[in-house]
Amino acid sequence: MLTKKAKYGLQAILLLAKDYGKGPITIADLAQREGIPKKFLESILLALKNRNILYSLKGKGGGYVLARPPNEISMGEIVRHLDGPLAPVPCVSKTAYRRCEECEDERTCGIRLVMKRVRDSIADILDGTSLEDVLNMIDEARHEIQNRF
């Protein structure tokens, strides 16, 4: 399950992706437009800046912008930076592997075998979905809604 930190981070990043190329957006504007507590958003954006997903411009007209185009940033990259590994259990994590203490044989552990499939599916979807892909999904969904009425 996504934490509030990851959800708010994704909301802010998607807004920055939508406005990509139009200049920086201030934290106050992002917070107001997305309904995110400003102080919480500051820490989220700083974490993403430190991971080179965002960069900030100081002074008048300053704010945050994506460090790369929306088609070069995956949802998985953002979720991992904000929430950590995607794996539901540590023994299937590629970035934070840890053997389960109670496990006698990882190779035949039914829980591990299923959770590895879950982890792989989550990673395939999130890593294979760029911010640009999400913006296109949003546009398609809006178009479908408009065509119904």
Q: Give the distance, in angstroms, between the CA of residue 109 and the centroid of all CA atoms in the same chain.
A: 30
Residue 11: per-residue pLDDT: 97
Residue 71: per-residue pLDDT: 98
Q: Which residues have C-beta within 8 Å of that of residue 14, sequence separation ≥ 6?
A: 131, 134, 135
Cα→Cα distances 64→47, 75, 93, Å: 12, 18, 31
Q: Is 30 a member of any domain?
A: yes
pTM: 0.88
Same domain, 91 and 59: no
Residue 102: per-residue pLDDT: 85
Residue 94: per-residue pLDDT: 85
- 131: how many CB neighbours lie within 10 A of its CB? 26
Tokens 């400003």 belong to 38
Tokens 């007209």 belong to 61
Same domain, 82 and 48: no
Same domain, 25 and 46: yes
Distance CA 88, CA 115 (A): 7
Q: Is 54 a member of any domain?
A: yes
Q: Is 142 a member of any domain?
A: no
Domain extent, residue 50, equals: 4-66
Three-state secondary-structure class, residue 109: coil
Q: Is 146 a member of any domain?
A: no
Number of domains in the chain: 2
pLDDT tens over the chain, length 149 residues: 899 999 999 999 999 999 999 999 999 999 999 999 999 999 999 999 999 999 998 888 789 999 999 999 999 999 999 999 998 898 998 888 888 888 888 889 999 999 999 999 999 999 999 999 999 999 999 998 888 87
Q: What is the CATH number of the domain that holds 62?
A: 1.10.10.10
Q: Is 20 a member of any domain?
A: yes
AA letter at 6: A
Same domain, 91 and 62: no
Residue 5: per-residue pLDDT: 97
AA letter at 19: D
